[in-house]
Structure 1
């Protein structure tokens, strides 16, 4: 069952438009932060997905555009040559999918942590960095959702 706190107000939930925009911004920052782990050349579909997410936030792309970009990023994950690339691509895919369902932001962060762990980098440092990027209006929501979620266990 999805976390009802992440349902947008226009769908009957408590999440404001501003919070939704902040969640997608945070998720994209988190995904971009681990993008270097993908390798020397980042798949252009991942870069496009991040652009579509930003365009959605600015009202220049639809939720449908974001969903298509997310599917493309997941295709990149499925085509990846190693597990780190897979996790990075999944992080990007879920970041852009935040436009469709805001709780994808938590999953984007989780996959970023998995990428860091598999790359043998500090998961604790990455989690601290992620948490420090949270705007005040969504910080408690995200931190409490992470604690309640299976996705926090890395």
Structure 2
């Protein structure tokens, strides 16, 4: 549980910069903010409850709605928040798709920043520095990030490779 909290705290920190992008597009919609708050509460020691799952699904619903409305950057911002909640549900099966629970919030936030004219590369570099020994150790237990996923998938694999090959590892 301690490792899940560390991974979730990392995912929240990676997702937060994209929340502003969502908030600018949909200031009345609090679902992504609520997801990040729920994930942060879990990371700080609260129990892993249904609220986390519900918050993740709500953030992903907000992402769908903004995508359908042509607000791609906001959609990725909301998806980053949903993935931050999902980090609390990382499971130990060595499956490449589990890497999305660890790095998905960072990859979607980078895409949101890119689509809104921000610096995705700088965000990924920041996410690399935010990854402490526990996050890197947990990541090392899984196969490399899966293929596919478009631009977000590229960011996911880029960060995955960086964290696995970094001399700061462990």
1:32 aligns with one of 8, 13, 16 = 16
Count of residue correspondences = 138
Runs ≥4 residues deviating over 6 A: 143-146
**8 Å Cα contact 1:31-1:95 kept in structure 2:** yes
Q: Normalized against structure 1, the TM-score is what? A: 0.76
Contact 2:10 2:135 in 1 (8 A): no
CA contact (8 A) 1:146 1:152 kept: no
Name the SS for the 1:107 alignment partner.
helix
User: How far, CA to CA, are the matches of 1:124 and 1:18 in structure 2?
Assistant: 29
Which of the numbers 51, 54, 58 marks the counterpart of 1:65?
51
- Equivalent-residue separation in structure 2 for 1:42 and 1:133 (angstroms): 30
Q: 1:95 aligns with which of 84, 88, 109?
A: 84
Which residue is equivalent to 1:7?
Answer: none
Once the 2 structures are TM-superposed, how far is the Cα of residue 19 of structure 1 from its aligned partner? 2.0
CA distance in 2, matches of 1:132, 1:90: 22
Provide structure 2 residue ranges, at least 5 long, that are not aligned to the other structure: 92-97, 156-170
1:35–1:42 Cα contact (<8 Å) kept: no
SS of alignment partner, residue 20 of structure 1: helix
**Partners in 2 of 1:33 and 1:25 — Cα distance?**
14
* Structure 2 equivalent of residue 6 of structure 1: none
Structure 1 CA distance, aligned partners of 2:144 and 2:62? Answer: 29
Say which SS state the counterpart of residue 89 (structure 2) adopts: coil
- Find the aligned partners of 1:88 and 1:63 in 2 and give their Cα distance: 23
Is residue 64 of structure 2 the alignment partner of residue 78 of structure 1? yes
Say if 2:21 and 2:73, in contact at 8 Å, map to a contact too: yes
